[in-house]
Amino acid sequence: MRHKAKKGIIILLSYMGMSLVKLVVWISWLAMAVGAEYVKYKDPKQPVAARIKDLMSKMTLAEKIGQMAQIDRSVATEQILRDYSVGSVLSGGGSEPLPEAKAEDWINMVNAFQNGSLSSRLGIPMIYGIDAIHGHNNVYNATIFPHNVGLGATGDPELVKKIGAATALEVRATGIPYVFAPCIAVCRDPRWGRCYESYSEDHKVVEQMTDIILGLQGDPPSTWRKGVPYVGGKAKVAACAKHFVGDGGTTRGINENNTVIDMHGLLSMYMPAYSQSIIKGVSTVMVSYSSWNGQKMHANRELISGFLKNTLKFKGFVISDWQGIDRITSPPHANYTYSVQAAIQAGIDMVMVPFNLTEFVDDLTYLVDSKVIPMDRIDDAVQRILQVKFTMGLFETPMADFSLVNELGSQAHRDLAREAVRKSLVLLKNGKPGSTPLLPLPKKASKILVAGTHADNLGYQCGGWTINWQGFNGNNSTRGTTILGAIKSTVDQSTEIVFRESPDANFVKSNKFDYAIVVVGEPPYAETAGDSTNLTMIDPGPSAINNVCGTVKCVVVIISGRPIVIEPYVSAIDALVAAWLPGTEGQGVTDVLYGDYRFSGKLPRTWFKTVDQLPMNVGDSHYDPLFPLGFGLKTESGASIVSRSTSSATLRRPGLFIFMVTVTLSFYITGK
């Protein structure tokens, strides 16, 4: 009987044109396909809530705690990611797969880590994060946009949104789906070393600039629920509003210090930009190192769980800063178990560990097993992390490909950065009293002088958070155009250009220059290294100004992340320009110096006379600035100026060229 049955099956298979081996393979595939229908979290057709519920029902405590950890790439391995089900990996400032790594190198690194995550029991993909705060600033050959203070000077939220979209493309070009940006601090004291990361001292300007989130993540549909994270596809990234909250208001501008202000002041000055970010679908929020009225923000349950999550209805995940929970204690890491307890109970969902993974896992496991931290707090954190991962499609496309590699440093993005540079420049002075304005400069001249420490230094021009955490010095760490290079490509071929970083007065007098461009300012810095009590330009900046401007008509271009001491030199200067930290596209500076485009930028910050006045913001009773918030002169564009050649003599003749100067004193009164 068995023999007849077997013979009948073989005859049937033969009739169907299928071998016994093929049948086994087909049945196995069918079984897997049928089985997959019952794994809801792997089915993109299921609602996100159902997928989260299904996945979490399958997760162990160890896997949940693993999702709450973010580790640096330097300590990450495929095995660690697999064994601990690590939720996220990051590149700290300057952390790269190899020097001058190409987009493909970054992709290969990220995918290797992702392979480890996908090989874990449940195959939950990790999310790779990186600081991309003025373009994809860790990466060689990326477009470096002006720092936020310069973007604040543009007053152009639509431009900032375009920059967000361009940044997202360049980040995705390297296989990375998550950025720690934007910084929505309201810097109230320029002595703070992170002031250039703030768009303005005016919280209303900062609120407007949160449109960068729409560029980074995409525009949520009109039906999208407020507070729910949104990331619109593989050309977009998850964003991170930081640093929650009050980081720009610390006493004397000291980084990570204490912000002393009542609840009304906190909510009216520092919180509105977070409300706007949440409305726009921001995926994550990073907590500040600083304290509010003496309480560390990383341990502030009232503001993280109470206000951010419950009042503002934020549904994404809250992440700590780099070793942020360690700094809950003084000295840092003095009682790590307590730090873990305080941070998780406060409402932090993902901890940027970033090195001591096993210590974090062991301590949090102990706290849960001991019932110090309830399981529902762990579940809330993991649900929020998975919400972001599912929403952005990370489960469907966890692996990066090479389809966007040409977006890195593309000409279109460099053109956009150049536009941002020229719109960010603020003209503070144009001509001495009773004399003809100096700008726009003539492209055709006999001989011109370019001087200063910042004229031919791409690193100085870009500032901190560029290639390395603290930035770099010189022209070799990435690709871009210095201001000197831009001048050379802008002026007439017959114009002789002489460059001296620090010319002496005799040299200037003996050369009979038609005019001079002096570019000076601050060195690169980031975070605490940028805290300053004197806010002076680096030497030999002052002597360059005095030696040059005392002899020849000069325009001084200030490269800085904030207002610096300039009042002692203003009377000697013919034209003064605040260029902030413009990034890699130096042609944006010459676009306006030479009149191809007009000056249009407005001061996003009050420019003080002396540091003794600080802190001083618009609306203060002692407000007596050198240049007030919103100040900025204008010039006509070159399209309305007759092409002209000049010498030092003709430059002084009024009426040789036609232009208009408009002085606008705009005071944005903050709603305290």
CA torsion sign for 180, 183, 185, 191 is positive
Residues 176-192: tens digit of each pLDDT: 999 999 999 999 999 99
Band of pLDDT at residue 19, cut at 50, 70 and 90: low
Contact 186, 200 (CB under 8 A): yes
CB atoms within 10 A of CB 170: 25
| Distance separating alpha carbons of residues 63 and 96, to the nearest angstrom | 27
Residues 238-258: tens digit of each pLDDT: 999 999 999 999 999 999 999
User: 64 to each of 84, 87, 142, 169, 345, how far by Cα in Å?
Assistant: 9, 9, 35, 31, 16
Long-range contacts, stretch 28-36, CB < 8 angstroms, 24+ apart: none
Q: Is the pTM of this model over 0.85?
A: yes
User: 19 to each of 2, 11, 25, 340, how far by Cα in Å?
Assistant: 19, 10, 10, 60
On the question of pLDDT at 25 being above 80, the answer is no
Q: What is the pLDDT of residue 33?
A: 47
The tokens of 634 are what? Answer: 């204008």
The CA-to-CA distance between both ends of the chain, in Å, stands at 93
| Distance separating alpha carbons of residues 321 and 289, to the nearest angstrom | 7
Report the residue count for the chain.
672
Catalytic amino acids? 321, 527
Band of pLDDT at residue 37, cut at 50, 70 and 90: low
Identify residue 84 by its one-letter amino acid code: Y
On the question of pLDDT at 286 being above 60, the answer is yes
On the question of pLDDT at 112 being above 90, the answer is yes
On the question of pLDDT at 489 being above 60, the answer is yes
Measured over all CA atoms, what is the biggest interatomic distance in the chain, rounded to whole angstroms?
A: 117
What is the β-pairing status of strands 291-292 and 258-259?
Answer: parallel
Contact 240, 70 (CB under 8 A): no
Bigger pLDDT: 570 or 12? 570
Contact 573, 430 (CB under 8 A): no
Band of pLDDT at residue 637, cut at 50, 70 and 90: low
The residue-averaged pLDDT of 432-440 equals 95
CB neighbour list of residue 61: distance below 8 Å, 6 or more residues apart: 365, 368, 375, 378
Contact 149, 195 (CB under 8 A): yes
Cα 471 from chain centroid (whole Å)? 14
Residue 102 burial (C-beta neighbours within 10 Å; 0-12, 13-18, 19+): middle
| Distance separating alpha carbons of residues 576 and 554, to the nearest angstrom | 9
Band of pLDDT at residue 128, cut at 50, 70 and 90: very high
Q: 336-346 vs 375-391: helix axis angle to the nearest 10?
A: 70
| Distance separating alpha carbons of residues 257 and 263, to the nearest angstrom | 18
| Distance separating alpha carbons of residues 378 and 651, to the nearest angstrom | 71
Q: What is the pLDDT of residue 670?
A: 36
Mean pLDDT, rounded, of the chain: 92
Residues 580-591: tens digit of each pLDDT: 999 999 999 999
